[in-house]
Amino acid sequence: GTLRRAVREMLAKHTLVESHAEAERRAGGDGVTVVELAD
């Protein structure tokens, strides 16, 4: 939990990250963070 929160906080502030979200349950759910990078 602690590492997941830290990673998601960093992603929320990063200028090259367009979006990030928890993966769908079948793709790993809360254990996976899906990141979309800006162009």
Q: What is the pTM of this model?
A: 0.80
Give the contacts of 39 (CB within 8 A, at least 6 positions apart).
none
Tens of pLDDT along 17-29? 999 999 999 999 9
User: Does residue 33 contact residue 20 with C-beta atoms inside 8 Å?
Assistant: yes
The whole-chain average pLDDT of the chain stands at: 96
Position 23 scores a pLDDT of: 97
- Those residues whose C-beta lies under 8 Å from the C-beta of residue 8, and which sit 6 or more positions away, are 20, 33
